[in-house]
């Protein structure tokens, strides 16, 4: 956390970190969240034609807009790069918040990622307009002010600027520009829970992996094109290869896909419905074309649509506990620019309301007996195997629906605890947990006195062990596997 270099700032820092005065910050957050229930809906967007028009922006234009916005709104924005593409283009991230340069204790971090497939740029432009809407509406839109006062929003408009550079406007299908400059599909380039992913890591995905390892993101959306649906984890499944010896089965495995549900399936469905129902058309579940699937209520489990290995949303969830969903927001991958204004009108409310879901569920702090925050304490909701960890200030967040829950909290050198709590609809539940130092046990082991450890080694981020079928599933080779992978690639090129 960065505080102003003043005596007042130093006093605030001491209050936040070295005592239970953190509760005051949390109480203020809850008060703001309760107030948000009475706030009006975000107003209709009125574009500032001097800054951003409804056209496609190349990388130089995108960079100029982000830099100009950061200079014009220094109290609401911060611009940084998480790395470069293969061809040297910056992967820009814009933070939009009332505290853009500093992590305020109790304020969750959320993110949007656009243009992971270079020839799907509608999301790229929607994120630029979202930035413009936030900064221009902060002083006039109560809902936006509440959101930016209580959330740090990180926006990566393009993850694949090289692919975008070779894409063509008006191309609704096909793969030109989909991949990065080395021909890799970036949404098949992440570590996978179900199968070993042997594809060589790319600079763009390596940058994103490093980014999310450093910031405790609570909620995320990845924007795509080629369909109209909100898709949620898992994208992969242990049964994506239904049989190994039949060429026919291998060729048509995509069409016999089944759901692959996470332990947080209720939450993921809810998040997807929040986006779909606030969208102008998505929740109707209308198929983009007669030959493409229709989705009930505008949502789908990723693997039920078609399974894929190495997807970004599964990686966010399994490795870091970040609830990410994939948002397919245009039937045409690269529609004409004159349609962008309508896409914005369709998606504006969804983009805003989805981020506000970070304030649903449970949040709090983990302390030691002296009231000091415990960093990287691991937390797991009982019955939900994918866990999460505290920040350096002992903070945690978890999106949950109303109900009764039990949290398991443990950290290196401390006795584990189980804590029961209740989630209600109206506001998030505050849960502050104190862990006691583990008891000393005399005469254990050849080295003499030792201490109880709840885990041999606490990983940087909790991740469930690989399923027993992972190793077997990663050995698929041969011509039928090649044909099957080719069909999956073709299917994703057509439908998203």
The residues annotated with a catalytic role in the active site are 328
Tokens of 458: 């606490």
Residues 6+ apart with CB under 8 A from 416: 408, 409, 410, 435, 454
What CA–CA distance (Å, rounded) separates 255 from 392?
Answer: 45
CA–centroid distance for 138 within its chain:
24
329 to 170, 283, 421, 476: CA distances (angstroms): 16, 12, 37, 33
Q: Would you tell me how many other CB atoms lie within 10 Å of the CB of residue 288?
A: 19
DSSP helix/strand/coil, 90: strand
CA–centroid distance for 472 within its chain:
29
Q: Is the peptide bond before 234 cis (omega within 30 degrees of 0)?
A: yes
Nearest-CA neighbor of 229 among 299, 172, 289, 293?
299
Q: How many residues does the chain have?
A: 496
* Buried/exposed code over 391-420 (b: 16+ C-beta within 10 A; e: otherwise): bebbbbbbbbeeeebebebbbbebebbebe
Question: What's the number of CA atoms in the CB half-sphere (13 Å) around residue 381?
Answer: 22
What CA–CA distance (Å, rounded) separates 236 from 219?
Answer: 20
**Burial, 466: exposed, middle or buried (Cβ in 10 Å; 0-12, 13-18, 19+)?**
middle
What CA–CA distance (Å, rounded) separates 172 from 273?
Answer: 26
Residue 187 near residue 117 (C-beta atoms within 8 A): yes
Place of tokens 């994103």: 208
Nearest-CA neighbor of 400 among 240, 270, 493?
270
What CA–CA distance (Å, rounded) separates 133 from 216?
Answer: 25
**Using the 8-state DSSP alphabet, how is residue 44 labeled?**
P
What CA–CA distance (Å, rounded) separates 205 from 208?
Answer: 5
């Amino acid at each position: 956390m960065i505080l102003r270099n003043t005596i007042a700032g130093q006093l605030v820092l001491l209050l936040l970190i070295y005592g239970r005065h953190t509760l005051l910050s949390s109480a203020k957050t809850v008060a703001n969240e309760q107030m948000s229930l009475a706030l009006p809906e975000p107003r209709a967007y009125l574009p500032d034609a001097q800054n951003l028009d409804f056209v496609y922006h190349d990388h130089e234009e995108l960079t100029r807009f982000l830099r100009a916005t950061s200079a014009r709104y220094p109290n609401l924005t911060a611009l940084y790069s998480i790395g470069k593409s293969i061809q040297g283009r910056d992967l820009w991230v814009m933070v939009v918040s009332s505290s853009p340069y500093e992590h305020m204790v109790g304020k969750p971090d959320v993110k949007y990622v656009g243009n992971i497939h270079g020839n799907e740029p509608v999301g790229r432009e929607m994120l630029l307009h979202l930035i413009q809407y936030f900064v221009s509406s902060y002083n006039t839109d109560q809902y936006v002010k509440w959101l930016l006062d209580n959330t740090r929003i990180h926006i990566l408009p393009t993850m694949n600027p090289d692919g975008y550079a070779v894409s063509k406007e008006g191309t609704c299908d096909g793969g030109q520009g989909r991949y990065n400059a080395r021909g890799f599909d970036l949404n098949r380039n992440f570590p996978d829970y179900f199968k070993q992913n042997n594809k060589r890591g790319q600079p763009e995905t390596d940058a994103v992996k490093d980014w999310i390892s450093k910031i405790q993101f609570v909620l995320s959306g990845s924007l795509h094109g080629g369909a109209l649906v909100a898709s949620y984890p898992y994208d992969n499944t242990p049964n994506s290869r239904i049989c190994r010896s039949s060429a026919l089965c291998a060729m048509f495995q995509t069409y016999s896909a089944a759901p692959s549900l996470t332990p947080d399936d209720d939450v993921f469905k809810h998040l997807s419905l929040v986006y779909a129902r606030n969208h102008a058309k998505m929740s109707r579940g209308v198929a983009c074309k007669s030959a493409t699937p229709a989705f009930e209520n505008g949502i789908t489990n990723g693997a039920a649509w078609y399974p894929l290995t190495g997807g970004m949303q599964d990686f966010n969830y399994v490795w870091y506990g970040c609830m990410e969903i994939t948002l397919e927001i245009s039937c045409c991958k690269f529609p004409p620019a004159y349609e962008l204004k309508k896409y914005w009108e369709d998606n504006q409310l969804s983009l805003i309301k989805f981020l506000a879901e970070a304030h649903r569920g449970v949040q709090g702090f983990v302390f030691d007996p002296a009231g000091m925050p415990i960093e990287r304490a691991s937390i797991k909701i009982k019955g939900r195997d994918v866990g999460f960890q505290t920040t350096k200030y002992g903070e945690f967040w978890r999106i949950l629906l109303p109900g009764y829950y039990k949290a398991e909290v443990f950290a290196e050198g401390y006795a584990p605890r189980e804590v029961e709590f209740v989630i209600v609809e109206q506001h998030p539940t505050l849960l502050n947990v104190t862990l006691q130092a583990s008891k000393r046990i005399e005469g254990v082991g050849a080295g003499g006195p030792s201490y109880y450890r709840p885990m041999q080694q606490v990983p940087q981020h909790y991740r469930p062990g690989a399923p027993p079928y992972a190793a077997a599933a990663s050995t698929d080779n041969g011509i039928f596997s090649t044909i099957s992978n080719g069909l999956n690639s073709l299917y994703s090129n057509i439908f998203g």
